[in-house]
Amino acid sequence: MNTLSKNTLIAILAAASLFLWSRPGLAEQLSKKATLVKSEKENFLLEDLASLGDVPWGMAFVSPHTALITLRGGKVVLLNLKTKELKAVSG
């Protein structure tokens, strides 16, 4: 796994754990392609949502199904969590 993939995975794991914790029942709705990762204190479901092409720098949920993601290179994208569609934000 290259560095970009590891950074992407770490960012998605952190955001997804907060997102799933705040929305009971959502974990059951995830794709069957999700991977269960067990730790000493918590279990996490990981699902590859997008290939961003850069290191995620920040993330905010702007609706239950949309995440605003800033990338280290300065770009901003919207990720539709249902369709997994990425849209560049400009302006």
pLDDT of residue 7: 66
pLDDT of residue 86: 92
> By residue range, what is the domain housing residue 28?
3-89
pLDDT of residue 24: 56
pLDDT of residue 51: 84
Measured CA to CA, the distance from residue 53 to residue 35 in angstroms comes to 22
Number of domains forming the structure of the chain: 1
pLDDT along the chain (91 residues), means of 10: 58 64 56 79 84 88 92 92 90 79
Entry pTM? 0.57
DSSP 29: G
Measured CA to CA, the distance from residue 89 to residue 78 in angstroms comes to 7
pLDDT of residue 77: 93
